[in-house]
Amino acid sequence: MEEKRGTTEDRASAGDPSDQSAERSSASENNAADPRRNRLKLFNKVMEKSLQRLIADASFHRFAKTFHPFYKQNPQLTESIHKQFISQLQTAIQDDIAQIMEEGNLHCKLEELDLLEAAAKESTDPAWRPSGAPERDLCSFVVPYYQQQRQYLRRELKKLRKENAALAQRVLAGRDRISQSEQRIAADVAEWRVGPVSCSILEAIGSLSPSQNFDHL
């Protein structure tokens, strides 16, 4: 009896295999769900693993085998060159990956995919599936886009027409001001010509002659 109790207690302390398998499956599901929720982490892990495999393939043994005559003459220098080569190769690959992510704006796009996936899980609407007719699927996708573009162009056209009408009113107002200014100038000139002061000035100018003006020179 004591031995049976000991075995049962050992099993209890060790844990039920079914419970352990359930916990392992739930843990694996959680671990598998985390990268899906964050595609950026998954991308970084994939790039890191790929870089590690590439560096592992460029081992010193393969490097020395490729440059065997040089390795035979100077093994230490060959090892130093290999270390420098691995360091520069790793840095260059990391820089290229960072440049690709920056040019493609992968950070924002991967985060947008995560948000779209989260929103799709919350929505109860059925997901879109192709109908089997490419023409119908293309029309169902393209027609709403063209309708939105047409509405946008109509709004822009309406805005431009309003701006053109306002500019036309400004031009007409400017023309009216110019015509009024011309009328005032013409009236002032006519009044100046008819006035007594202008007549006396014209008579004084007419009484002068060029010989009288230049005799004293």
Structure confidence by residue, pLDDT tens digits, 76-106:
998 899 899 999 988 999 999 899 888 888 8
Tokens (6 digits) for 209 = 């002659």
Contact 107/101 with Cβ under 8 angstroms?
yes
CA dihedral angle for residue 202, residue 205, residue 209, residue 210, rounded to 10 degrees: -130
Q: For position 110, what pLDDT does the model report? A: 87
DSSP 83-118: HHHHHHHHHHHHHHHHHHHHHHTHHHHHHHHHHHHH
Q: How many residues does the chain have?
A: 217
DSSP helix/strand/coil, 126: coil
Question: What is the Cα–Cα distance from 10 to 147, expressed in whole angstroms?
Answer: 72
Where are the chain's structural domains? 21-122, 145-206
Q: What is the mean pLDDT of the chain?
A: 76
Q: For residue 51, give the nearest of 82, 81, 85, 94 by alpha carbon.
A: 94
Q: Are 69 and 100 in contact (CB under 8 A)?
A: no
Residues in CB range of 53: below 8 A, 6 or more apart:
none
Cα separation, 85 vs 62, whole angstroms: 13
* pLDDT beyond 70 at 12: no
Q: Examine the pLDDT at 113 and tell me if it is beyond 60.
A: yes
Q: Element (H or E) spanning 119, and its range?
A: helix 106-122
User: Could you tell me which of 113, 119, 118, 133 has the C-alpha nearest to residue 43?
Assistant: 113
Which amino acid would we find at residue 212? Q
> Which residues have C-beta within 8 Å of that of residue 39, sequence separation ≥ 6?
110, 111, 113, 114
Question: For residue range 126-182, what is the model confidence (pLDDT) as tens digits?
Answer: 777 777 888 888 888 788 889 999 999 999 999 999 999 999 999 999 999 999 999
How far apart CA 129 and CA 137 sit, in angstroms, is 9
Q: Which residues contact 127 (CB under 8 A, 6 or more apart)?
A: 120
Count Cα atoms within 13 angstroms, Cβ side, for 168. 6
